[in-house]
Chain A
Amino acid sequence: MRRTATHEQVHAPIHTIVPPHIFKHLAGLPDEHWPGLADRALESMALAAEMRAERCAMAGVTALRETSAVGAQRTVFDAKHGFTLPGNVVRREGEASTGDETVDEAYDALGATYTYFSKVHKRDSIDGRGLRLDATVHYRRSFNNAFWNGRQMVFGDGDGEIFGRFTRSLDIIGHELTHGVTQYEAGLDYQDQSGALNEHMSDVFGSLVKQYSLKQTAKKADWLIGEGLWAPGIKGKALRSMKAPGTAYDDPRIGSDPQPAHMDDYVSTDDDNGGVHINSGIPNHAFYLAAVAFGGRAWVKAGAVWYHALTQTLRRDADFARAAAAIVDAAGAKFGKAGAVIVREAWKKVGIEVRTSTSRLPRAKKSPKRRVRPRGPRRANPLGAERGHRRAS
């Protein structure tokens, strides 16, 4: 019997939290300079474009466990470097810290994310219905990723050469959990511009979770995604920068940050599901510009506007132009003409003009009336139709 399963036949991330272009760069490095790096990168190489298939937004989501309890219900598990999820329970809600910094970081970050969505947006967990927040740490060996699998968070420890442990970054955990929120709300297709908007929303709320936790103003915030993830010696601040897309890292081992900040530099590619981790730099920068223009704390106005669009008006197949129009519209609904002007200007600065007139938009009200659309957007999740009722008490 001849069995082969060679290195070349094992590929990897098409959309990990670590952008595929980083793995591509690593894979092309000469081995004599950095032994083993190229091999590990190849383990994590992006799949070819022909492997793309039409995305069914809710595929992979299994039955959810709900809780009637009020407040976060966190459980952290330890996979002990194995493959089986969720693993052994190591910390439940309300229990004291374990002394394992990875366990405790995960526990705290889940709590910070829950608190952000609950306090700021009156949302009870990822699904708006109190979904339990489960997380597994120490998953596999030298695993360079963190992801939410539709049921729980999963964290790798990193390989120590390129990445450290993934629990170090609060905004990354907020980012991943926001993918869950998006899935239950707009259900943005994970391909091309709608996919970049999906990534963008995760970056927006990942950053806001961190800013809220640190009580930072928009001006003081670092606007970095994945700060602290790089292992020592890597020349980089983070995975992405919303303030200055394209400047997060520049290192011979990992390449340079390819994110554009303007539509003039939009990257057309079949990799990375159409560049979802690359072109998200454009809406990311628009959000940053809007948040700074609004002033104060970013979650109060800019975050409220983007959340409104994500949960009320964005469609799963939205492109940048439609998303910008929906977000300008949301700004008008929440903060009147002045709010709409700020957001429209932010989009204009990244090369997306929104021509919708703000003259018909309602003035800002303390409790803005929910706009009724003649036809509801197509939701990824049938529960989306009820989402107006799913709010934290």
Chain B
Amino acid sequence: MPEPLRSTLSVLVERASFFALAGELRSRMPDVTQYRVRIEDDDRAHEVIFDDACDDTTLLELVERVAEATRAAAG
């Protein structure tokens, strides 16, 4: 993963306390976009499911940064 994306994502992962989050954070609201983010970090891995109505904006920013990076990588 190239810099500065690596640093940006690391900051967001730390800020979200990602590995301490519950795996299921869905709001159950209708018509919201749902996301599943899985992060592998050396010997640990964690997956969180959340959606647009999630109060944790860091998670939403994380998913957007990953999406942007994916777009950029795809050219």
Contact = CB atoms under 8 A, between A and B. Distances in A.
A199 B38 CA distance: 30
Contacts of B62: 5
A140 B64 contact: yes
A16 B49 contact: no
Interface in A21-47: 31, 35-36, 39-40, 42-44, 46-47
Nearest to A7: B70
B17 interface: no
Contact of B41 (A1, A85, A145, A146): A1
Contacts of A10: 35-37, 63, 66-67, 70
Interface string B3-29: 000100110010000000000101111
B43 to A, nearest CB: 10
A158 to B, nearest CB: 13
A238 interface: no
Contacts of B49: 47, 51
B33 A53 contact: no
A184 interface: no
A12 B1 CA distance: 22
Contact of A176 (B31, B38, B47, B64): B31
Interface in A156-186: 176, 179
B13 A3 contact: yes
- Which interface residue of B39, B52, B53 has the most chain A CB atoms within 10 A? B52
A199 B30 CA distance: 9
- Majority-rule SS of B interface residues: mixed
Given A39-B71, A147-B53, A3 B35 contact: no
A83 B61 contact: yes
A1 B38 contact: no
Nearest to A55: B28
A5 B6 contact: no
B28 A4 contact: no
Interface stretch (A56-64, A125-133, A337-345): A56-64
- Majority-rule SS of A interface residues: loop
B36 A59 contact: no
Given A3-B6, A83-B61, A150-B53, A11 B35 contact: yes
A51 B47 CA distance: 12
B2 interface: no
A1 B36 CA distance: 22
Interface string B41-74: 1100001010011000100111110110011011
B52 A190 contact: no
B74 to A, nearest CB: 5
A301 to B, nearest CB: 27
A183 to B, nearest CB: 8
Given A140-B64, A149-B53, A2 B41 contact: yes
B35 A57 contact: no
Given A10-B67, A84-B57, A147-B53, A5 B28 contact: no
A241 interface: no
Contact of A15 (B6, B24, B31, B35): B31
Contacts of B31: 15-17, 145-148, 176, 179
- Which interface residue of A1, A43, A46 has the most chain B CB atoms within 10 A? A43
B59 to A, nearest CB: 9
Contact of A3 (B29, B30, B40): B40
A43 B67 contact: yes
A3 B61 CA distance: 17
A332 interface: no
- Which interface residue of A51, A55, A83, A140 has the most chain B CB atoms within 10 A? A83
Given A5-B9, A147-B53, 7 more contacts: A4-B40, A5-B38, A12-B35, A16-B33, A46-B34, A83-B60, A148-B31
5 contacts: A5-B38, A9-B47, A11-B35, A60-B28, A179-B30
In the complex, the 4 A-B pairs of residues with the closest C-beta atoms, listed nearest first? A60-B27, A7-B70, A83-B57, A149-B53
